[in-house]
C-alpha cells in the first residue's frame, strides 16, 4: 500500500505529536527524562517523512507539514541540548584553599559541621543524587 502525500504529512505530524506526547506522559520515568534523545529521534523521523511527502507532491500542505516538523525538530534539539542543560558553575575554591564552614546532615540525619573536623582528621564529602 502506497501512502499519498497527504497521508505521509499526516503520518509525520502524528509521529511528532506522538513523540512529544510520549515524552510528556513518561517524564516521571528517569530513563526517559534523563535521555530525551528518543523523542528527538521521533522529531527527526517525522521530518524525514514530511520530506518524502514533499518529494512526492509539492503542494501547500506538504510544505506546511515539513515546516512544522522542522520547527519541532529544531525546537526539541534546542530545548533538550541547549536550554535545559544545567549550566556549569565556576569552582569557588582554588586548589589548596580551605573550604568554607558549612553544616549538613550526614547519612543518619545528624547535623555535622565541617569546622568540627578541621585539623582532626580528613573529611570526604559524598553527594548523593536525589530522586526528582
The string of pLDDT tens digits covering residues 6-39 is 899 999 999 999 988 888 898 888 888 778 888 8
Structure pTM? 0.62
Beta carbons of 16 and 42 less than 8 angstroms apart: yes
d(CA 12, CA 8): 6
* Residue where the block lists cell 575554591: 93
Tell me the mean pLDDT in the region 52-68.
91
Q: Which three cell numbers stand for residue 91?
A: 569552582
Amino acid at each position: 500500500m502506497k501512502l499519498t502525500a497527504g497521508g505521509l504529512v499526516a503520518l509525520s505530524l502524528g509521529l511528532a505529536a506522538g513523540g512529544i506526547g510520549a515524552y510528556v506522559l513518561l517524564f516521571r520515568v528517569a530513563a526517559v527524562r534523563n535521555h530525551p534523545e528518543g523523542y528527538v529521534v521521533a522529531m527527526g523521523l517525522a521530518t524525514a517523512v514530511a520530506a518524502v511527502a514533499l518529494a512526492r507532491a509539492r503542494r501547500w500542505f506538504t510544505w506546511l507539514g515539513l515546516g512544522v516538523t522542522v520547527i519541532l525538530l529544531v525546537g526539541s534539539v534546542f530545548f533538550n541540548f541547549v536550554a535545559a542543560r544545567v549550566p556549569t558553575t565556576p569552582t569557588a575554591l582554588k586548589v589548596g584553599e580551605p573550604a568554607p564552614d558549612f553544616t549538613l546532615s550526614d547519612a543518619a540525619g545528624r547535623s555535622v559541621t565541617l569546622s568540627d573536623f578541621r585539623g582532626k582528621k580528613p573529611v570526604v564529602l559524598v553527594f548523593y543524587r536525589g530522586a526528582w
